[in-house]
Amino acid sequence: MTFEELGQSLHDITFVVVDLETTGGSASKGAMITEVGAVKVRGGEVLAEFQTLVNPQSQVPAFITGLTGITNEMVCEAPTIDGVIPAFLEFAHGCVLVAHNAPFDIGFLKHFAQDRWPSFEVIDTARLARQLVSRDEAPNCKLATLAALFDAATSPSHRALADARATVDVLHALIGRVGNQGVHTLEELKVFSSRVSPTVRRKRHLAEQLPHAPGVYLFKDASDRVLYVGTSRDLRKRVRSYFTSSEKRSRIGEMVSLAERVDAVVCASPLEASVREIRLIAAHTPPYNRRSRYPNKVHWLKITKEAWPRLSVVRSILDDDADYFGPFTKRSQADKCLEALHDTFRIRQCKDRFGQQPDRNPCILSELGRCLSPCNASTTHAEYAAEVERLRVSLRASPAPLINRAQERMSLLAKETRYEEAAIQRDRLSAFVRFSARSQRLSALTSCPELVAAHKGETGHWTVHVIRYGRLVAAGVMPPTRPSQDFVNELCNSSETVIPGPGPTLMASPEESELIARWLAEPGVRMVRTNGAWVCPVDGAGRWSAEYDAIEHSKHLVAGF
């Protein structure tokens, strides 16, 4: 493996171990630095030291003087922090910072450095010690306690340089302990967790054959069964993290312990990787994946094809010339939309089949004025057909009449302090708007015979994607010396053929088509060419979707308190 694949060896890294003395606990609340001490080490050898008192430009509190021995007289001639920061940054340039309780010390330095602070790698010996030192060995992970445990050559004394020297010895002792557990690089040290067993950590070799490229990875057990499918922009880096970092999901930890092999599918782009992930999860239904396992279990709203049409929730699309709208991934979503439509449009809700001239007794909905009541000939075919057409237009192009009427109804209920009923109306309307916007967005994509789009990747090369009826059928990276039209033509000619089904039948899972639709809207994506129209209605539900997405988000926030 290359040096980059192995990571940065801890033996070869130059660390700058830093400690501060301050006048208080928070720089943002006015506390100042009174002393900076740092030790530069590499491979167990001390290379240089940095120490200076700092003039806090205010009185040193008496209790700080009692704790550290630093007096006002000692710091009155010292440089201010504005003069110390540049010198420290030069001393630490290109190194990895180490501190005991790093958020405190590094937080103070970043506060005073402001825009001058570079992007340092930081190791916190206190956090690392909590992973490696048991309560039987030490009652706590304070610096003085750890220095005594590891027989540090310098005892901490609440002076910056002495404490930094003690932290150096603690750091070396902790690195020795993680080394015994197979951790030898900075990358592994940063994500180290004692909750990862040595058995699991030793499985890092499963990632060694994987490339640094976007794609999909498949964890498999000894019998070659797919346990888990995931995607990443960097396959090797992502898979290695399963064996070195703390995985909070217990089921994933269990999966890793069962894994005996990791296969990978290299992809031309992150979009292709995400699409392949969805398809592979659907094909293998891995036991440790929770989402996307049954992507084709969807529902549709149907305007039936009969003398007196009605709305129905169905599981599949038939070649019956009826109108279908969707898809819904949950039946509950379809039911809410159905209720919102029935609240606005007076079409029948009964499931009976009527002839041209029905003669029946009307139901309660007719008496309430919520149905045109074709069952007892209270309406004409023309009047009923006009109502159905308004419903169809609302679903296809412009839901404004439904939204306006529902909002008026909510306002009226709220004025009458009927808040629970108003909330029900709000939830129905929210479900309808969000569904309708998604449906119109997907319908625009899935009805387009071919769409070619490109995006310049992180490498600077263009990735070209061919999409047919909402399905990704090809993706490729364009060679910089290749004529673009020749490459696009060749990619299209070698793409998967897609034959559309009846009505709005999806040629891919809803999740895949939605993923593609979101990608097409990202900055930097350029349309190469289209075959057919890719359009959304100007007065469509997308005009209201942001508002009702915010409502749904606020509901979840409130529920979390």
Q: In CATH, what number is assigned to the domain containing residue 25?
A: 3.30.420.10
Q: Find the distance separating the first CA and the last CA of the chain, reported in whole Å.
A: 50
Round to whole Å and give the CA distance between 9 and 183. Answer: 9
**Do 228 and 316 belong to one domain?**
no
Instruction: Identify whether 154 is part of a domain.
Output: yes
**Residue-level pLDDT at 402:** 83
Checking if the pLDDT of 221 tops 80, the result is: yes
Q: Return the pLDDT at 297.
A: 80
Domain assignment present for residue 78? The answer is: yes
Range from 41-45, 75-79, 207-211 carrying the lowest mean pLDDT: 207-211
DSSP 480-546: TTS-HHHHHHHHHHTSPP----STT--SS-HHHHHHHHHHHTSTT-EEEEEES-----TTSTHHHHH
Dig out the tokens for 94 from the structure.
Answer: 């290109």
**Is pLDDT of 195 > 80?**
no
Confidence at 3, pLDDT banded by 50, 70, 90: very low
Question: Under a CB-based contact definition with an 8 Å cutoff, are residues 123 and 190 in contact?
Answer: yes
Q: What is the 3-state secondary structure (H, E, C) of 49-91?
A: EEEEECECCCCCCHHHHHHHCCCHHHHCCCCEHHHHHHHHHHH
In a domain? residue 410: yes
The torsion angles phi and psi of 335, rounded to 5 degrees, stand at -65, -40
Indicate if the pLDDT at residue 16 is higher than 70.
Answer: yes
pLDDT bin (cut points 50, 70, 90) of residue 538 is: confident
| Strand ranges (E), 346-489 | 450-456, 462-468, 471-477
With a cut of 80, say whether residue 459 has pLDDT above it. no
Question: What was the pLDDT predicted at 208?
Answer: 81
Q: Which two three-digit tokens encode residue 167?
A: 């932290």
**∠265-270-273 over CA atoms, to 5°?**
35
What are the pLDDT digits (tens) for 84-124? 999 999 999 999 999 999 999 999 999 999 999 999 999 99
**What average pLDDT score do residues 58-63 get?**
94
Distance CA 523, CA 521 (A): 7
In this prediction, residue 377 carries a pLDDT of 79
**Same domain assignment for residues 150 and 177:** yes
Same structural domain, 71 and 125: yes
228 and 325 share one domain: no
Q: Which of 170, 189, 208 is the last residue of a domain?
A: 189
List 93, 111, 158, 455, catalytic entry: 158
Q: Residue 383: which domain range?
A: 299-435
pLDDT interval class at 19 (50, 70, 90): very high
Residues 410 and 454 grouped into a single domain: no
Tell me what pLDDT residue 249 has: 66
The verdict on 394 and 489 lying in the same domain is no
The full 3-state SS of 135-154, as one line of letters, equals: CCCCCCCCHHHHHHHCCCCC
Residue 215 β-bridge partners? 232, 266
Confirm whether 559 is domain-assigned: no
- Is 429:404 a contact under the CB 8 Å cutoff? no
Q: Do 48 and 181 share a structural domain?
A: yes
pLDDT band, very low/low/confident/very high, at 386 (cuts 50, 70, 90): very high
- pLDDT number for residue 194: 53
Q: Please give the distance of CA 316 from its chain centroid, rounded to a whole number.
A: 31
Spatial separation of the C-alpha atoms in residues 387 and 50, rounded to whole Å: 82
Residues 6+ apart with CB under 8 A from 30: 24
Is 465 noted as a catalytic residue in this protein? Answer: no
What confidence tens digit (pLDDT) does each residue in 275-322 have? 999 999 999 999 998 876 677 788 899 999 988 899 999 988 888 889
Q: Which one is predicted more confidently, 349 or 145?
A: 145
Q: Is 262 exposed, middle or buried (CB count within 10 Å of its CB: 0-12, 13-18, 19+)?
A: buried
Three-state secondary-structure class, residue 21: strand
Contact 354, 376 (CB under 8 A): no
Please give the residue that has the higher pLDDT: either 185 or 233: 233
pLDDT level of residue 246 (50, 70, 90 thresholds):
low
For residue 126, give the H/E element and its range: helix 125-132
Q: Domain ends where: 189, 207, 242?
A: 189
Answer yes or no: do 95 and 125 share one domain.
yes
Domain check: are 270 and 173 in the same one? Answer: no
203, part of any domain: yes
Q: What percent of the chain stands above pLDDT 70?
A: 92
Number of domains in the chain: 4
Structure tokens at 82: 């504005």
pLDDT at residue 38, rounded to an integer: 97
Residues 373 and 362: beta-carbon distance below 8 Å:
yes
- For 265, the 3-state DSSP assignment is strand
Higher pLDDT, 345 or 552: 345
> Nearest CA to 278 among 504, 74, 511?
511
Neighbours of 42 (CB within 10 A): 14
Confidence tier at 2 by pLDDT (50, 70, 90): very low
Kindly tell me if the per-residue pLDDT of 198 is higher than 70. no
Q: Note whether residue 474 is domain-resident.
A: yes
pLDDT attached to residue 197: 64
Average pLDDT over residues 141-145: 95
Give pLDDT, residue 460: 84
**pLDDT number for residue 561:** 47
Mean pLDDT (the chain, rounded): 87
**Inter-residue contact 346 to 387 (CB < 8 Å):** yes
Domain assignment present for residue 540? The answer is no
Tell whether 307 and 246 lie within a shared domain: no
User: Beta-carbon neighbour count of residue 225 at 10 Å?
Assistant: 12
Any domain includes 514: yes
Residues 73, 31, single domain; the answer is yes
Confidence label for 376 from pLDDT (cuts 50, 70 and 90): confident
What pLDDT, on the 0 to 100 scale, is given for residue 359? 63
Domain boundary residue, one of 159, 189, 219: 189
Instruction: Assess whether 328 and 373 both reside in one domain.
Output: yes
